[in-house]
Every structure is written in C-alpha cells, then in structure tokens.
C-alpha cells in the first residue's frame, strides 16, 4: 500500500478499526460459552482463546514490519500494544460500578499473569542490551520467550487447580464458575468452534491490512516507524482487546476480562520471537531503540501496578492503582513522542 495517499491509509485504518470493534462483542460471548462448556474457566479461556486471537492483528503487523526490514516498527507495535492494553484494565474498572475490578476478579492465576509478563518483558530488555548472537539468524531469547509463555500457562492451570493460598472472598468477589444462563440451547461444540475459527480468520485478515497500511503511512509521511508502530498500529490492533474487556465486564465475566488483557499482553511479547525469525538483518533485539526500551519499562510498571491492585484489593472505586495506570500511560506516551 505504499502508493496509497495518507488520507487513503487513514481511511483504511478507520475501516479496519470498525471491523475489529464489531467482532469484539460476538467473540466475547462465544468464548464465554466455550469456557463454560469445556470447563477450562474464564481466566484460561481469556488467556488462551481471547488473548491469542485478539492479538493476531498485532502479530501479523509486527511480522510484516520485520520482514520488510523495519525492526523498530515491529517492536514498537508489540510493546505499544502491551502498554495500551494494560491501560484498558483501568478503563474497564471505570465501567464496572459494583466494585473495584481487581477486587472482584482476584484469583491466583490473575495475580500470576502480570508477574509472568513482567519476567518476559525483563528478558526482552536484557536480550537487547546484552551480547547479540544468533543461531540460524535467530536470537536464543526468542525460544526462551516461548518457553516462558508455555511455562506460565502451565503454572496458571496448576495454581488455579491446587492453590497454596487462597483469596479471601467477600460479597463483591466474582468466582470463576460456569454460568448456565450464557448457553444457547441446541448449539453444538462443533458449531461453536467453527464460529471461533471464522472470527479468528476475520481478525487475522484485518491485522494484515493494518500492517500493510501502517508501513505505507511510514513511507508517505516520513514519520518514525517506532512512533507509527507504538501510537497508530499498536492502538488499532489493540481495539479487539478494548471491546472484549468492556463487553466481558458488561456480562460480568470478570475473569475473562482480565485473562484477555494480560494473556493478550503475554502473547504480544511473542511477537518479538516471530519478528526475530522474519527479520533478516540479524537478531531483532540488537535493533532495539530508546523508544522500545521506554515501552518495555512502561509495560513492566503498568503490569506490576495491576499486580499491586490485585494484592491490595481495594473494594470500591477505581483505586490508587487504576489512577496510577492512567497517569503512567499518559506520561509514557508523552515521553515516547518527545524522543
């Protein structure tokens, strides 16, 4: 799309955003039913199903950027998506008026998630500033990130099934239990999985369009690939997470909401593993810019604030941690643009 004018690229991004916003609601309802029917629970469903599928636009966008030789665009798209998606948790907290979201959705898997994500982000940071070497032109850190992601998923299942300590329940705590009212009579598992695959394919195709458009805008405007990736495509490809978390809060699938955001964030870190394979200029971590370092640090701060909110469990209102998330994100964006 390099020949498309700026206004045309903006129009394409707007249409893609509308598609991603429209898909979010039906997809959330479907996964909520799948979580109950399969028995895996909302948190794991949010991490594995929703988090992975809603991250497909960002994944494809980052891979396209890396394959076209723009590692800054690829990395900033991934890290920018993590930052804005974490801010969505505080936004969802504003919409859930019954109680503080971190209080109501407190669970061991939800608490483990931002900690595991921070470990993955720290691994990326160390890989960027450390020695740059590769095996078949791929940095070993890319394989390590995949291992950490799978280890975190296994640990989430383990602590959810056999917790070594428990969250104190209150009248505002929402337990991750099947909701029989969410099921549709006569809907088969095969039909549900077919709908899931169709919606995932639509989201992925839209991600390809966003990636091509973002790269075209870099050519047309001359703007930094890092800024376009973090602020433009990173936000657009994160819209499914926004719709999903708000819709999940609306239907009171609170564990699905948190699992979606934090699970999607962990999947976003894996964008770097895929981008490292697609980038032919050496290990992609060696091309890390100050913008990427800033976004990694911002992602760690935001996710540890989520963990702090889950530990503190303020019962009502958005809480100090929610306000701090908004403030930290705004400051981070200002710093990013000023670099």
In the chain, where are the structural domains located?
Answer: 6-162+187-338
Cα–Cα nearest to 75, from 281, 324, 325: 281
Amino acid 146: pLDDT: 92
The answer to whether residue 300 scores a pLDDT higher than 90 is: yes
Residue 135's DSSP bridge partners are 138
pLDDT tens, residue by residue, 316-330? 667 788 889 889 989
Assess whether pLDDT exceeds 60 at residue 333: yes
In this predicted structure, the answer to whether residue 13 has a pLDDT above a threshold of 90 is no
Residue 298 binned pLDDT confidence (cut-offs 50, 70, 90): very high
| Dist. CA 315–CA 103, nearest whole Å | 6
- In this structure, the chain runs to a length of 339
Cα 40 from Cα 54, distance rounded (Å): 19
41-55, 134-148, 260-274: which range is least confident on average? 41-55
Burial of 29 (0-12, 13-18, 19+ CB in 10 A): middle
Mean of all residue pLDDT scores within the chain = 77
What integer is the mean pLDDT of 269-291? Answer: 88
The CATH architecture to which 6-162+187-338 belongs is Up-down Bundle (1.20)
Spell 246-277 as b/e; 16+ CB within 10 A means b: bbbbebbbbbbbbbbbbbbbbbbbbbbbbbbb
Given a cut of 80, whether residue 143 has pLDDT beyond it is: yes
Give the span between the Cα atoms of 235 and 231, in whole angstroms.
6
- Banded pLDDT at 301 (limits 50, 70, 90): very high
Asked whether the predicted pLDDT for residue 211 surpasses 70, the reply is no
At residue 123 the predicted structure's pLDDT band, cuts being 50, 70 and 90, is very high
Q: Is the pLDDT of residue 331 over 90?
A: yes
pLDDT value at 229 more than 70: no
Instruction: Give residues with Cβ within 8 angstroms of 335, minimum separation 6.
Output: 294
Confidence (pLDDT) at 223: 60
């Amino acid at each position: 799309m390099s020949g498309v004018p700026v206004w045309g690229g903006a129009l394409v991004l707007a249409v893609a955003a509308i598609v991603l916003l429209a898909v979010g609601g039906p997809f959330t309802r479907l996964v909520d039913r799948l979580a109950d029917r399969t028995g895996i629970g909302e948190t794991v469903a949010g991490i594995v199903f929703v988090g992975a599928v809603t991250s497909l636009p960002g994944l494809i966008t980052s891979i396209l950027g890396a394959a076209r030789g723009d590692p800054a665009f690829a990395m900033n798209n991934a890290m920018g998506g993590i930052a804005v998606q974490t801010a969505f948790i505080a936004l969802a907290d504003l919409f859930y008026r019954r109680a503080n979201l971190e209080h109501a959705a407190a669970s061991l898997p939800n608490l483990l998630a931002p900690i595991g994500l921070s470990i993955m982000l720290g691994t990326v940071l160390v890989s960027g500033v450390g020695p740059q070497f590769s095996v078949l032109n791929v940095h070993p850190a890319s394989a390590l990130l995949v291992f950490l992601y799978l280890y975190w998923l296994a640990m989430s299942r383990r602590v959810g099934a056999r917790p070594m300590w428990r969250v104190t329940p209150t009248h505002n705590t929402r337990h991750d239990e099947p909701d029989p009212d969410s099921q549709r009579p006569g809907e088969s598992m095969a039909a549900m999985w077919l709908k899931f695959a169709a919606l995932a394919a639509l989201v992925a195709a839209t991600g390809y369009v966003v990636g091509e458009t973002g790269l075209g805008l870099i050519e047309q405007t001359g703007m930094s690939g890092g800024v376009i990736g973090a602020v433009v495509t990173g936000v657009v490809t994160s819209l499914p997470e926004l719709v999903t978390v708000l819709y999940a809060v609306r239907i009171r699938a609170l564990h699905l909401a948190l699992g979606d955001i934090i699970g999607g964030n962990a999947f976003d870190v894996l964008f770097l593993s895929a981008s490292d394979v697609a980038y032919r200029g050496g290990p992609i971590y060696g091309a890390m810019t100050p913008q990427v370092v800033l976004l990694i640090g911002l992602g760690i701060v935001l996710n540890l604030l989520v963990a702090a909110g889950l530990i503190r469990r303020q019962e009502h209102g958005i809480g100090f941690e929610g306000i701090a998330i908004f403030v930290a994100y705004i400051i981070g964006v200002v710093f990013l643009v000023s670099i």
